[in-house]
Structure formats: structure tokens, C-alpha cells
Amino acid sequence: MKKIILASASPRRRELLEQIGAVFEVCPAKGEEKITKTEPGEAAEELSRGKCQEVFQSLEDDVTVIGADTIVVLDGKILGKPGSADEAVQMLSSLRGRSHQVFTGVTVMSREGEKTQTVTFHESTQVSFYPMSDKEIEEYVSDGEPMDKAGAYGIQGKGAVFIREIRGDYNNVVGLPVARLYQELKNMGIQIRE
């Protein structure tokens, strides 16, 4: 079984891979995230490809690298990670009582001898929020959980209390659509589990 690398520092992505019994190492990409695409699925794929390529090109041996990036989209506008507590409050205020989409782009690059394979895809999940009071938003932001998350909330954390409904892959909202990833790896002939 060749070495598998997760090109992400996200503890949530690591937990999702561990949950499915994957054997992998973590080597986060350090480059700046740049979006040139306007269509959300393409933007998420572009971000994942950038992370994956950076780590893949830094390694010489036979390896499979998985890069992923998650974005939240409301009314066609991409919401990344909040840069400040005020920005987190703004994001959550715009999401409350409404539905939005979560896109996770995933890129897999694999090298075996002279043979290189690449696949890039994205999953989309619709998330609906309950109405939230200003006080609830401020308390949630002061807790710190929203600060390193796209859209300023964690569905797998304390933010779960605000989620009315999801349509699609729950794990996609957490940060990695592991079922689709497993299927794509299988199609590439790559074994991720021992």
C-alpha cells in the first residue's frame, strides 16, 4: 500500500479519515489560498487543487495526496473563514433562519513510478438554519468555535443547535465527503484502508 498524505491541517478532516479506517499522514499545504473561479463548485475544486499540487510536487516517491477545501455560499456569495469576531457575527446574522450551500472540493493526485493520476470533484450540501437571536450569535462567537470555520460555524460542534435541516452529505459540511472520496479512490485503484 503506497503512502497516503492529507494536505490539510484540519483536525475535522483527519477525524473523518480516521473514522473510515484510512491509513495516512498529515502534511498541510502552506500556500496562500487564491480563488479565480466564480462558480462555487469550481472555486472549491480550485482551492483543493492548489493545496494538493503544492504538497504533491514537494514529494518525490510513490504517493497519493488528498487536498480538500470547504466553502459556504449564501445568495451566490462565498463565505470563507471569518477574519474577526465582527465578521463572524455578520456571517451568522446573514445565515440565520435561511438556507445556504456548503461545497467541499477534493483533489487526489497519485504517483506510481512513471504513472500519475489526478481526479478533482466537489460535493454540495444544503444547510438550513433556525432563527437565532443576536445574543445567541454573540455568545457563540465569543466561545471561539466559529473562527477557523467557513461560514463561521461548526456543524459537528456547538453550532449543531442552530441547524434545522441538511440535504446531502453531512460529512461534506464537516469538511470531507469521505464516502465519495472512497469511491473515487477505489475507481483509481487506490486502497485507503488497511
Active site residues: 69
Is residue 194 a part of any domain in this protein?
Answer: no
Alpha helices in the chain (DSSP H): 11-19, 40-57, 85-95, 134-142, 170-174, 178-187
Is residue 149 a part of any domain in this protein?
Answer: yes
61 DSSP assignment: S
Is residue 180 a part of any domain in this protein?
Answer: yes
> What's the structural domain count of the chain?
1
50, 30 Cβ separation under 8 angstroms: no
**Domain containing residue 156: CATH number:** 3.90.950.10
Is residue 192 a part of any domain in this protein?
Answer: no
Residue pLDDT tens, the chain, 194 long: 679 999 998 999 999 999 999 999 999 999 877 888 889 999 999 999 999 999 999 998 999 999 999 999 999 999 988 999 999 999 999 999 999 999 999 999 999 988 999 999 999 999 999 999 999 999 999 999 999 899 999 999 999 999 999 999 999 999 999 999 999 999 999 998 87
pTM of the entire predicted model: 0.93
